[in-house]
Amino acid sequence: MTIKKYMTAAAVAIAAAALAGSALARDFTIASWGGGYQDSQRKNFFKPYGDSKGIRVLEDTYLGGWAQFKAMQETGNRPWDVVQVETSELIRGCEEGLFVKLDWSRIGQKSDFITPAVTECGLGVAVVSQLVGYNPKNTKVQPTSIADFFDLKKIPGKRGLRSDPKGTLEFALMADGVDVMDVYKVMSTKAGLDRAFAKLESIKSSIQWWEAGAQAPEWLVSGDVVMSTAYNGRISKANKDGHGLKMLWQNNILYVDKWAIFKDSANVDAAYGYLKFFTDPKREAAFTNDYTYGQPNKAALNFIKPEVAAELPAGKNIADALDTGREDSVEFWLDNSDEIFERWTAWKAK
């Protein structure tokens, strides 16, 4: 009899917990990339927003990719209200109805923002550039173009590249003389893709692949590579520690992450409130002075220190940059990433 009593009690407790879970609204939750980056976001955006509304802002870490979203779709759970995602996940989440189509009247004037920051389901967060970084201490001849990165005669030695076909194949084609606007047109053909792989093949023995963004500046500082592709913010951060690394802006590759709001979120109003709060140019500028990534609000540039602005993916620095938010870029990778990933893996291992 006692066992039965325990079982009943346990069943009641579980049922009660489940009810409580669904009935009690969770506090407003934002997910971002974690680490020092999110620390800076907390200081400049999350905490001030919570304080201004008198609410608690919870945080979580998004690991990238689609797995966490797939789990949400299959279980129906929505642990987050707002998330910072890359463009490909944004498009997928938008198409599959995971994110809300933004009501821009609740955020601000579309014209206040740079073009890649305004999309159907996402508001730009940060403008990040992947570019060639080098350490003048390691090389006498300094690279002046992306073609030099692929020129072993002119600049011998190891070079770091991101272990990902996305971006790397684009760099190869641009170095081979393809115009930034034609990259995907060329790469859509078999001959064009072969050309990109052939260009990479020409320096393969000197490539050192990086997986995490922090590795590239570490290697530049330690002398393991003479130059490396890297995210501009990482190089600036190393330079704040006095390492004197240089950046080559020609043909850099732009990424604009987006804030997206979950459709079934119980805190949609708080989410819109947060997005509006985030777009304040002074606030965005304060973040950039902390962490050198560009901002979606054009007016933010007025409040950014000039020495920081010189190292930003903005203005003349991105005059010939490749924007990965471009429609042909997004479409190309959504259509071809599965097949190219296999070819890439086979090629890399050879």
Work out whether 241 is an interface residue with other proteins (CB under 8 A). Answer: no
Minimum Å gap between C-beta 51 and other proteins is 35
Work out whether 303 is an interface residue with other proteins (CB under 8 A). Answer: no
DSSP classification of residue 274: H
Cβ atoms of residues 266 and 28 within 8 Å: no
Work out whether 315 is an interface residue with other proteins (CB under 8 A). Answer: no
Work out whether 163 is an interface residue with other proteins (CB under 8 A). Answer: yes
Minimum Å gap between C-beta 132 and other proteins is 19
Q: Which is nearer to other proteins, 102 or 114 (CB)?
A: 102
Q: What share of the chain is helix, strand, coil (3-state, %, to 5)?
A: 50, 15, 30
Q: Can you name the residues that pair with 323 across neighbouring β-strands?
A: 254
Calculate the CA 99 to chain-centre distance: 18
Q: With CB under 8 A as the contact rule, which of the stretches 43-51, 268-276, 307-315, 336-344 interacts with other proteins?
A: 336-344
| Kind and range of the H or E run holding 67 | helix 67-75
Work out whether 66 is an interface residue with other proteins (CB under 8 A). Answer: yes
Q: With CB under 8 A as the contact rule, which of the stretches 34-42, 52-60, 216-224, 278-286 interacts with other proteins?
A: 216-224
Q: Which is nearer to other proteins, 202 or 336 (CB)?
A: 336
Report the C-alpha gap between 214 and 29 in whole angstroms. 27
Q: Tokens 């129906």 label which residue?
A: 76
Report the C-alpha gap between 153 and 161 in whole angstroms. 18
Q: Rule CB under 8 A: choose which of 110, 152, 209, 244 binds other proteins.
A: 209
Minimum Å gap between C-beta 350 and other proteins is 7
Work out whether 211 is an interface residue with other proteins (CB under 8 A). Answer: yes
Q: Rule CB under 8 A: choose which of 7, 12, 21, 96 binds other proteins.
A: 96
User: What is the number of alpha carbons within 13 Å of residue 15 lying toward its C-beta?
Assistant: 6
Work out whether 338 is an interface residue with other proteins (CB under 8 A). Answer: yes
DSSP 177-203: T--TTTHHHHHTSHHHHHHHHHHHHTT
Work out whether 349 is an interface residue with other proteins (CB under 8 A). Answer: yes
For 228, phi and psi rounded to 5 degrees? -160, 145
Q: Point out which residues bind other proteins (CB under 8 A).
A: 63-67, 69-70, 92, 95-97, 163, 207-209, 211, 222-224, 331, 334-339, 341-343, 345-350
